[in-house]
Structure 1
Amino acid sequence: MLLVYTHKISPRLKYVFKHICTRVLGFKVDFTTKVEEFIAHDGLKMSYTRQQLGNEFFVKSHEILYEQGLSDIEINVHQWENTKCFFYNGEKSTMPFDIFAASFYLLARYEEYLPQVKDEFGRFIATESIAYKHGFLHQPVVDIWAYKFKAILRELYPDFVFPERAYSIKPIIDVPSAYNFRLKGIMRTFGGTLKDLFGLKLKRLYNRYAVLFSLKHDPYDTYKYIINKQKQTKYKFLFFFLIGAFSTYDKGINVNKKNFKSLIKHVGDYCHVGLKISYFALENNLLLKKEKGKMEAIINSSLIASRNSYSKLNFPESYRNLVELEIKEDYTMGYPNHIGFRAGSCTPFLFYDLDFETQTPLKINSYHIMDYALLKNKSFLDKKKTLNEVISEVKKVNGQFVPVFHNYTFSNLQHWNGFKELFNIILGSANEG
């Protein structure tokens, strides 16, 4: 156990130290404000306060962990060895930066509470983030800093046996529409037919009716392929099915269709199943409660995980709604069009509500790459290189890699050529060594 001496034990301080020490590095941490207790402790120890007590391992504290609410914080980002850091704390500190304050800033998504420019869906944009602006979005900096912290502890306490964690993957399969042509109903099929005709999309029109007359396979029906892939790895895939009503934004399948329910149950026999929350349920807790209830009736168990339509987060209301409905895990934190680490970490973390200054039980699993972001790379070799780079970053800190693919990514549509191979690279990355 690591004992931390500090002048004040605040909720923020406990939250971030427990994330770094326990969640990332795997050992327990406790706190004291009593100098005598600190001196008497003969195990791992450090002081985190304004001034060093003696010659102990000391990190000079930044005020952010003792404040309440939001303040106008000046942030200067500097190069630090192989990464970037901020909240410089002087040469007297054993670590030149306050990694705990900086980690809290990123994990609590402090910047997402502040006024910002949003995109057309009302989403926080990657280019507005401190990580993008200062060139460290591609690194899980919180985990990198944690490992630097561990290296210093190891030097000071060579006899202490530190736990080791292993690299893992958690593939996400997002299903905004289970089928391209099947189960769409008469009106939507008629509307789609007219659209194909007026748009002169004759090949699509032919495929539509070939599928409807069972002459061809629906292009979005890739579930057999994905389940076969699931059987080849010990890491469970997590499917998110959209079951919300048809709307301007969501164009899924009617949840009352028997075949759709059967599909969800079938997938649930092999993989984990979560709820893809519809666009309008993000701002309507009654609607979200209904969707949760419907999904629980289909899977016949409590809903553990959810993910928001369009990866949209209304911060912090979206997470408060999940906490209220006792949904335990979220998989929305990430950027659809940018690869990287939105919260600076590849370790699941708990949602800290800055308005109420409290740690909640909601576990946030941020994703690091979405298939759409890879489409920016024109050649397959570039896609492969980009994917391997992000995998490499996660492997360096033995973190959890969370990629998001869609059911149609595995189709034979030209748009998605080569993506099956990219998915195989992800599965293979966890089987190496």
Structure 2
Amino acid sequence: MLLVYTHKITPRINFTFKHLCTRILGIPVRFTTTIEEFIAHDSFKMSYTKKPLGNEVFIRSHDLLFEQGLSDPDLNVTKWEDTKCFFFTGDKSAIPFDVFAASFYLLSRYEEYLPHVKDEYGRYGAHESLAYKHNFLKEPVVDIWAYKFKSVLEANYPNVEFPKRKYSIKPVIDVPAPYDFKLKGLMRTLGGNIKDLFAFNFKKLYYRQMVLFGLKRDPYDTFKYILNKQKQTGFKFHFFFLIGDFSTYDKGISALRKDYVSLIKSVADYCRVGLKVSYFAIEDKSILKKEQQQMEGIINTSLLETRNSFSKLNLPDLYRNLVELEVQDDYTMGYVNELGFRAGTCTPFFFYDLDYEVQTPLRINSYHVIDSALLKNVSLLDKKESLQYIINQVKRVNGEFVPVFHNYTFSGMGQWKHFKELFNIILDSTENDK
């Protein structure tokens, strides 16, 4: 166990040290403010304060982890060895940056509480982020910093054995609509036919009729393929089904339809099933609770996982609602237009409520790749290279890779051609790590 001396133990310190030391490096950590206890401890220890007590491992602290509420910290991002960092602390510190304060800034999503411009869906965009502006969005810097800290500890305590974690994947399958043509009802089907007709899209009109008469498979109905892939891998897929009401934003299928309920139940036999929170439920707790109860009625167990429609996050309100409804995991943290690490990490972490200064039980599983972001690459080769780059970054720190694909991604039609091949790259990426 690592003993950490600090002049003040705060919830921020507890949260940050436990993420870097315990969740990433596998080291239990304990804190003390008593100098005598620290000096008497003759094994694994370090100090995190303004001045060293002796010759111990010393990390000079920035003020951020001792503050409450929001401030306007000076963020001077500079190059550090093979990565970047901020909160420079000087050469007297074992590490020239306060990696704990920097990690807290990214993990708490501190910058998302500060004034920023939202996009058309009310989302925080990648272009607003510190990581994007300083070109480290595609690096899991928090995990990289943790490993640099580990190197310092190993140099000072060569006899301490550190547990080794293994690279893993957690594929997410997002289902905003299980079918393109089926189960849409008379009015929506009629409207779709008229729309195709006036747009002279006779190919789609023909395909729609073939599907409705049972002569072709619906292009969004890729569940058999996905479940076959699930049976071939040891990592559980995480499905998120939309069951919210039809609206301007969400155009799914009613959860009252028996065929849709049967589909969700059949997927739940092999994979983890969670709720895709509808656009209006993100803002309205009563709608969210209704959708939670509907999904629990379908899967006959407690709802443990959620992911938001359009990957929209309204911090901190939505996460507070999930905590109150006892949801354990969320998979919304990420950017729909950019690959990378929105919270700077590829290790699941807990939501820290900056307003109440408390770590909550809600675990955040940030995603690092989403199919829509891969579309920015025109050629298949560029898509493969972009995907492989992120995979390699996660492997660099033996982290957990979370990609998001949609059921329609596997249709192979139009822009989704070759995406099955990209998904196979992800599944095969664990072969050398078993």
TM-score normalised by the chain length of structure 2: 0.99
For 1:368 and 1:75, how far apart are their aligned partners in 2? 24
Partner of 1:318: 318
Partner of 1:211: 211
Amino acid at match of 2:103: S
| Pairwise CA distance, 1:43 | 2.3
Partner of 2:53: 53
Kindly tell me the number of residue pairs found equivalent between the two proteins: 433
Question: Percent sequence identity over matched residues?
Answer: 67
| Pairwise CA distance, 1:228 | 0.4
SS at match of 1:362: strand
Partner of 2:146: 146
Amino acid at match of 1:402: V
| Pairwise CA distance, 1:42 | 2.3
| Pairwise CA distance, 1:54 | 1.2
Partner of 1:83: 83
Q: Kindly indicate whether residue 398 of structure 2 is the aligned counterpart of residue 384 of structure 1.
A: no
Amino acid at match of 1:26: G
Q: Kindly indicate whether residue 200 of structure 2 is the aligned counterpart of residue 169 of structure 1.
A: no
Amino acid at match of 1:7: H
Alignment of 1:112-131 (within 5 A): 112-131=112-131
Partner of 1:196: 196
Alignment of 1:347-366 (within 5 A): 347-366=347-366
Amino acid at match of 1:120: E
For 1:228 and 1:414, how far apart are their aligned partners in 2? 23
Partner of 2:375: 375
Amino acid at match of 1:249: Y
Contact 2:59–2:94, Cα closer than 8 Å, also in 1:
yes
**Once the two structures are superposed, what CA deviation does each residue of 1:85-115 show, in whole Å capped at 9, x if it has no partner?**
0000011111100000000000000000000
Amino acid at match of 1:2: L
SS at match of 1:282: coil
Partner of 1:341: 341
Partner of 2:417: 417
SS at match of 1:261: helix
| Pairwise CA distance, 1:80 | 0.3
Q: Kindly indicate whether residue 185 of structure 2 is the aligned counterpart of residue 185 of structure 1.
A: yes
Residue segments in structure 1 that go unaligned for 5+ positions in a row: none
Amino acid at match of 1:230: Q
Partner of 1:97: 97
Partner of 1:271: 271
For 1:33 and 1:373, how far apart are their aligned partners in 2? 47
Amino acid at match of 1:194: I
Contact 2:394–2:401, Cα closer than 8 Å, also in 1:
yes
Amino acid at match of 1:34: T
Contact 2:349–2:363, Cα closer than 8 Å, also in 1:
yes
SS at match of 2:432: coil
Partner of 1:243: 243
**Once the two structures are superposed, what CA deviation does each residue of 1:345-393 show, in whole Å capped at 9, x if it has no partner?**
0000000000000000000000001001001111000100110000000
SS at match of 1:249: coil
Amino acid at match of 1:377: N
Q: Kindly indicate whether residue 56 of structure 2 is the aligned counterpart of residue 35 of structure 1.
A: no
Partner of 1:9: 9
The list of structure 1 runs, each at least 4 consecutive aligned residues, that deviate by more than 6 angstroms after superposition, is none
**Once the two structures are superposed, what CA deviation does each residue of 1:243-296 show, in whole Å capped at 9, x if it has no partner?**
000000000011000000000000111111000000000111000000000000
